[in-house]
Every structure is written in C-alpha cells, then in structure tokens.
C-alpha cells in the first residue's frame, strides 16, 4: 500500500526527510531573506573531507567528521572575510574548493572508504540509520524552539539592521546563532541528500514559498510544507528511477520553483490588468 515506501529503509528515509523539512523550511526562509544561499551551499560542500575522514576512521564517524569540518569552515571563512578586499564570497569559494580537494586526496589515500563518492556527494536512500532519524528529530525540535525564541529578533534585524541594533535585537549574536543552526541542519541532512545537494533542501523550498507568500508566517509554513512535499516525491522518484535522492529532490525543487514563478507571474499579470481601484 505504501508503494515506493514499502521497504523499511525507505520508511527510515521518509521519516528522516519529513523531520528535516521542519528545520530546512524554517531556516531556509532566513537563508533566502538574508542572502545566505552561498554560505549554506559552501558549508555543505565543506563537510566533504570530514565525511570522508569519518568513513575512513570509524572511531570518528561521518557525523562528527562533518560537524568538525563545518565548524572549521565557518571559523576559517569568518576570520578571513573581515578583510574588505576579499569579500563577496571569493574566500568562501576558495575554501569550499580547497575542502573538496582535501576530500578527494583523502579518498585516494584512506583506502578503507568503501562508500562510493556519489553517495557522499548526492545522498543515498540506503544510508539512513535510526541514529540519523533521531538526529533529524533533535534538529527539528531545536529549530522549532530556536525559532520561537529568536523569531522577533531575526525578523527585526533582517528587515532593518540599523533600527534593530539600537532597539536591542543583539543582531550579531542572533546572526551567529542562525549560522550555527544552519550548520547543524546541513550536517544532519547529509546522509539523505549529500554534501553537494543540501542547499537545495534549504534554499529552493523557501525561495518558492517567497514567490507564493507575502507574509513571513505564511512563507515559513509554506516553505516547510513544500520541503516535505519535495522530500516525499523526490524520495519516491529516487527509488523508482534508481537515482541519488539529493539529485532528484533538488531537480524536483527546481521544477516546483519554475511552476511557482509562472503562477506568481500570472497572478501579478492579472492584478495589473485589473482596473485600478
């Protein structure tokens, strides 16, 4: 009756994906509104050497490895990018390429890695353990709690930083918390969608929601719902077509964005044609 989700591993993947939709949708909204898409993509890519190291050395494990790599990336980039001459993401780009190169070298030097590189980069349906599902649940609950606490500060400081800072939003502290939350979400989503595709889960549903909604609460709800829908359909497609879930979910998200853009354009076209009141 479950169709593509009859196998137990598919049910794990589905559960993990649905849990991930909560933090990815909620945080994705801020990623889109604050222009953090490159950062999210880069954190995902930067985890690659950590995952490889974690797979090669079971004492570390891919989760701890990727978490350490993401943290190292955040510290490295934020310490260099304070120099105005190299801002605009160039250091981020260099750092993510360097991380990829390190991962590639580790792959050829640590012989024990039996996991194919495609699995690390684009995710796998088979790799979702119960521990991964539990981590997804923890991150989902954490994201919900953090949003409840940080919502007003995030809203005020994203909308108008010059006002929010004197009004007591503690903007820079909020920024750092948000980045850490995004980092944790990215790392948790890795087994399902892979290092290269994780930004698809964060950015695409939220951007699609922005096309459809003009209010923050509606946009957030819409982003979570879209993220969940894309995960369910994307996982089913991945199973049926035998492709990596990260790739199918991201491609599906792109399709959803294109549809929403068409709907939005048609809507504003209608509004323009309607007589002005």
Partner 1 sequence: MLDWLADPWTSALMRRAFFEAMLVSGLCGVLGCFVLVRGLAFLGEAIAHTVVLGVVLAFLGGVPAAAGGAVLAVVTVLLASAIGSDRRFSVDTAMGVLLPSLFGAGVALIALSDGYRSTLADVLFGAILATTQTDLALAVAACGLTGLVLALAGKELVLVAFDRAVAQAMGYRTGLLDLLLLGVVALAVVVSLRAVGNVLLAGLLLGPPVTARLLCRSFWGMAAWSAGLGVGASVAGLYLSWYVEVGGGAAIVLVVAATFVVVAIGVRLTGRVGPSERRVLSHDAYTAVL
Partner 2 sequence: MAYGDRVALDEVSFGLHGGTFAGVLGPNGAGKTTLLHALLGTVAATGTIVLKGRTSYVPQLTAVSEAFPVDALGVVLMGRYPLLGWRRRPGRDDRRLAGELLDQVGLLDRARSPFGSLSGGQRQRVLVARALAQEGDVLLLDEPLTGIDAPSQKSILGVIRAQCAAGRTVVMTTHDLAQAARECDRLLLLNRTLIADGTAQEVLRAEVLGRAYEAEVLLLDGRAALIDEGAHHHPPTKPGGLP
Q: Name residues contacting partner 2, limited to 178-217 (CB under 8 A).
A: 210, 213-216
End-to-end CA distance of the chain: 52
Site pattern 20..49 for partner 2 (x: CB under 8 A): -------------x-x--------------
Q: How many CB atoms lie within 10 A of CB 277?
A: 3
Which of partner 2, partner 1, none does residue 159 bind (CB under 5 to 8 Å by kind)?
partner 2
Which residues, including other chains, have CB under 8 Å from residue 112's CB and lie 6 or more apart? 55, 56
Q: Among residues 141 and 159, whose Cβ is nearest to partner 1?
A: 159
Which residues, including other chains, have CB under 8 Å from residue 49's CB and lie 6 or more apart? 65, 69, 99, 100, 102, 103, 106
List the one residue from 57, 60, 98, 138 that touches partner 1 (CB under 8 A): 98
Residue 246 Ramachandran class (φ > 0 left, ψ -120 to 50 alpha, else beta): alpha
Q: How many residues make contact with partner 2 (CB under 8 A)?
A: 26
Q: How far apart are CA 162 and CA 55, in angstroms?
A: 45
CB of 40 to partner 1, least distance (A): 7
List the one residue from 159, 176, 265, 267 that touches partner 2 (CB under 8 A): 159
CB of 137 to partner 2, least distance (A): 23
Q: Is 102 in the site for partner 1 (CB under 8 A)?
A: yes
List the one residue from 1, 3, 8, 83 that touches partner 1 (CB under 8 A): 83
Radius of gyration in angstroms for the set of CA atoms belonging to the chain, rounded to a whole number: 19
Q: Is 269 in the site for partner 1 (CB under 8 A)?
A: no
CB of 267 to partner 2, least distance (A): 13
Which of partner 2, partner 1, none does residue 272 bind (CB under 5 to 8 Å by kind)?
none
List the one residue from 2, 75, 116, 163 that touches partner 2 (CB under 8 A): 163
Give CA separation, 189 vs 78, 127, 249, in Å.
Answer: 23, 12, 12
Tokens of 87: 């801002």
CA 261 to chain centroid, in Å, comes to 21
Q: Is 147 in the site for partner 1 (CB under 8 A)?
A: no
């Amino acid at each position: 009756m479950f169709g593509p989700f009859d196998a137990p591993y598919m049910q794990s993947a589905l559960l993990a994906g649905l849990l991930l939709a909560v933090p990815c949708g909620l945080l994705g909204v801020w990623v889109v509104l604050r222009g953090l898409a490159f950062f999210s993509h880069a954190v995902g890519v930067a985890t690659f050497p950590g995952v490889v190291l974690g797979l090669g050395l079971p004492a570390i494990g891919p989760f701890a490895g990727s978490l350490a790599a993401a943290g190292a990336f955040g510290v490295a980039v934020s310490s260099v990018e304070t120099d105005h001459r190299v801002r605009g993401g160039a250091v981020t780009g260099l750092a993510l390429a360097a991380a990829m190169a390190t991962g590639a070298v580790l792959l050829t030097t640590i012989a024990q890695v039996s996991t194919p590189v495609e699995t690390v980069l684009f995710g796998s349906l088979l790799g979702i353990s119960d521990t991964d599902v539990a981590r997804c649940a923890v991150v989902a609950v954490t994201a919900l709690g953090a949003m409840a606490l940080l919502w007003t500060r995030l809203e005020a400081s994203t909308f108008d930083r010059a006002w929010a800072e004197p009004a007591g939003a503690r903007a820079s502290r909020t920024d750092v918390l948000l980045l850490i939350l995004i980092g944790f979400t990215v790392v948790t989503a890795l087994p399902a969608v892979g290092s290269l595709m994780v930004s698809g889960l964060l950015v695409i549903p939220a951007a699609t929601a922005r096309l459809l909604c003009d209010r923050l609460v509606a946009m957030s709800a819409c982003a979570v719902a879209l993220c969940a829908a894309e995960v369910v359909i994307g996982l089913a497609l991945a199973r049926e077509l035998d492709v990596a879930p990260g790739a199918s979910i991201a491609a599906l998200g792109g399709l959803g964005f294109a549809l929403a853009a068409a709907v939005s354009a048609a809507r504003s076209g209608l509004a323009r044609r309607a007589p002005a009141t």
